[in-house]
């Protein structure tokens, strides 16, 4: 047992595909870059388009509807949309705990009413729901109740720091015996409300004065240099957006067309977002340093990823009130208060478009900008491809199979008296080692935004629109719709998607023609 690796699965919330500097972004992320340069970067790894479904897939090795969370945490009383993890699935924590692992979660849960300590985690600290102020410690809880918890004086608490504090405490606790640990370090940054320490925000305000059009162009050029995208990849046009009720839609405007006061407001929003990513990276650095100091870094599998694409909610200006989605234009001295404890912001679809560079669309959608995540794999004892790029098409459903593969634990047919659905994923170990991998089909659905990836082909649709067909080998930016040229292939892939949807409980609530 003591020879099994520790496993650190780091999930960030609403991070765009190109935000990390190791993927082409201008945000300073030296600690994650260090993991990337000494590990492996995946370029075609997928999540499930939104926080709750992605977390369900990540935790269970199933498609989100099979686990009961096809949408969010509201119970719609159909099998795929119960809003909590059903008894027909097991979590990574439950499986690894049976295999002798300590199991810890520090960060965001957001997969329903059953507590993480009821689904296999020995210890939890963090946020049970979806989002809350980063400055208010009352939203963050310790489970089981009565376990040791950090205390913070007034003005000292910041969620990203506190989540890391407790993660380090959990790691230290695990050192009291010979058993390995599984730590799910689930940051809620950079999800709204956009809030960050002022010293981190100030690093970025000048950077974003150039606006989202220039940022997109510069990111794409760096991505080509880093080889995270093909050398001939073209930048997509500015993406469409819809409001929350899908009554209002449009296309993100050119930066130069925006009023100067509005630009200042938007620059501040993006600077806060970048500061949140920067602060998250600083905290990842704290964990890396701790593992290195204890000679555990080489023996720990570290995976880093994002739960969905960048968050466009709900228009180019962003919102300042979650309930009404209202936007307020901040001017003069009010700009300086943005990001502080009394503020509440999102950054809107224009900046989300930039964070998804070079892809179309964002969180919620099954186009590449919505479902593509950076994935960094760092495990010096086993992942020898230092600094390499991997184009394997993987998915969050693969984590369960991977962890079972590397630990020798067993995936159960039954658990606590319930029959368990078989795993959907595949081990990532062949991809880690650069070995040949078999072709596969991956499917997606969230809020009637759907897709199927079958080898080089992808069929995808936005809720109100027709299916579109793209060849991923030469058009991953989904700009050349081939549906009219290959109608038979479209029908074949629609049938495969429909068969998957019926099998995985996407029906009866969602049925797409």
Write the CB contacts of 188 (distance below 8 Å, at least 6 apart in sequence): 13, 107, 108, 126, 127, 131, 132, 134, 159, 160, 163
What's the rounded Cα separation, in Å, for the pair 59 and 281? 23
Write down the catalytic residue from 51, 89, 355, 450.
Answer: 51
What's the rounded Cα separation, in Å, for the pair 361 and 233? 17
What's the rounded Cα separation, in Å, for the pair 407 and 40? 20
51 is catalytic: yes
What's the rounded Cα separation, in Å, for the pair 103 and 98? 10
Query: Which neighbouring-strand residues pair with 125?
Result: 106, 142
Closest CA to 458 of 445, 448, 468, 447: 468
Write down the catalytic residue from 102, 110, 367, 378.
Answer: 110
Q: DSSP per residue over 303-362, as a string?
A: EEEESSS----SSTT--S-TTT-------THHHHHTTSTT-----HHHHHHHHTTTSS--
- Report whether 27 contacts 19 (CB < 8 A): yes
367 is catalytic: no
Calculate Rg over the CA atoms of the chain.
Answer: 21
In the numeric block, which tokens belong to residue 68? Answer: 């009961």
What's the rounded Cα separation, in Å, for the pair 386 and 388? 6
Q: DSSP per residue over 469-481, as a string?
A: EEETTT-TT--S-
As annotated, the active-site residues are: 51, 110
């Amino acid at each position: 047992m003591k020879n099994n690796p520790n496993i650190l699965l780091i999930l960030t919330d609403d991070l765009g595909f190109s935000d990390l500097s190791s993927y082409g972004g201008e945000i300073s992320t030296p600690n994650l870059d260090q993991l990337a340069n000494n590990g492996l970067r995946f370029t075609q790894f997928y999540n499930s388009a939104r926080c709750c479904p992605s977390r369900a897939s990540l935790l269970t090795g199933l498609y989100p509807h099979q686990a009961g969370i096809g949408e969010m945490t509201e119970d719609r009383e159909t099998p795929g949309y119960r809003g909590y993890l059903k008894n027909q699935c097991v979590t990574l924590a439950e499986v690894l705990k049976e295999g002798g692992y300590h199991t810890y979660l520090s960060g965001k849960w957001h997969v329903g009413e059953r507590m993480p300590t009821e689904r296999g985690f020995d210890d939890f600290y963090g946020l049970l729901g979806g989002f809350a102020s980063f400055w208010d410690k009352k939203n963050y809880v310790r489970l089981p109740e009565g376990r040791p918890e950090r205390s913070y004086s007034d003005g000292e608490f910041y969620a990203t720091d506190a989540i890391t504090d407790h993660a380090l405490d959990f790691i230290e606790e695990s050192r009291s015996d010979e058993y390995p640990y599984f730590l799910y370090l689930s940051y809620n940054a950079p999800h709204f409300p956009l809030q960050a320490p002022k010293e981190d925000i100030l690093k970025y305000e000048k950077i974003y004065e150039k606006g989202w059009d220039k940022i997109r162009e510069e990111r794409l050029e760096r991505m080509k240099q880093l080889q995270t995208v093909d050398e001939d990849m073209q930048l997509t046009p500015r993406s469409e957006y819809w409001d929350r009720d899908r009554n209002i839609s449009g296309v993100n405007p050119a930066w130069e067309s925006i009023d100067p006061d509005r630009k200042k407001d938007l620059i501040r929003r993006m600077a806060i977002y970048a500061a949140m990513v920067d602060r998250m990276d600083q905290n990842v650095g704290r964990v890396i340093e701790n593992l290195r100091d204890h000679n555990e870094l080489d023996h720990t599998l570290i995976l880093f990823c994002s739960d969905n694409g960048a968050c466009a909610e709900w228009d180019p200006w962003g919102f300042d009130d979650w309930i009404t989605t209202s936007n307020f234009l901040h001017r003069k001295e009010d700009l300086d208060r943005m990001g502080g404890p009394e503020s509440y912001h999102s950054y809107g679809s224009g900046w989300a478009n930039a964070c998804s560079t070079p892809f179309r669309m964002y969180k919620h959608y099954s186009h590449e900008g919505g479902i593509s995540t950076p994935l960094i794999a760092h495990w010096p004892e086993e992942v020898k491809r230092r600094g390499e790029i991997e184009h394997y098409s993987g998915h969050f459903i693969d984590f369960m199979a991977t962890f079972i593969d590397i630990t020798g634990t067993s995936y159960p047919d039954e658990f606590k008296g319930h029959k368990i659905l078989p795993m959907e994923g595949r081990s990532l170990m062949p991809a880690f080692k650069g070995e040949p991998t078999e072709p596969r089909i991956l499917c997606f659905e969230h809020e009637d935004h759907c897709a199927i990836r079958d080898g080089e082909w992808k069929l995808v649709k936005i809720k109100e629109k027709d299916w579109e067909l793209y060849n991923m080998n030469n058009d991953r930016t989904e700009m050349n719709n081939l549906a009219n040229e290959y109608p038979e292939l479209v029908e074949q892939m629609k049938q495969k998607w429909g068969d998957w949807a019926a099998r995985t409980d996407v029906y009866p609530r969602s049925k797409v023609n």
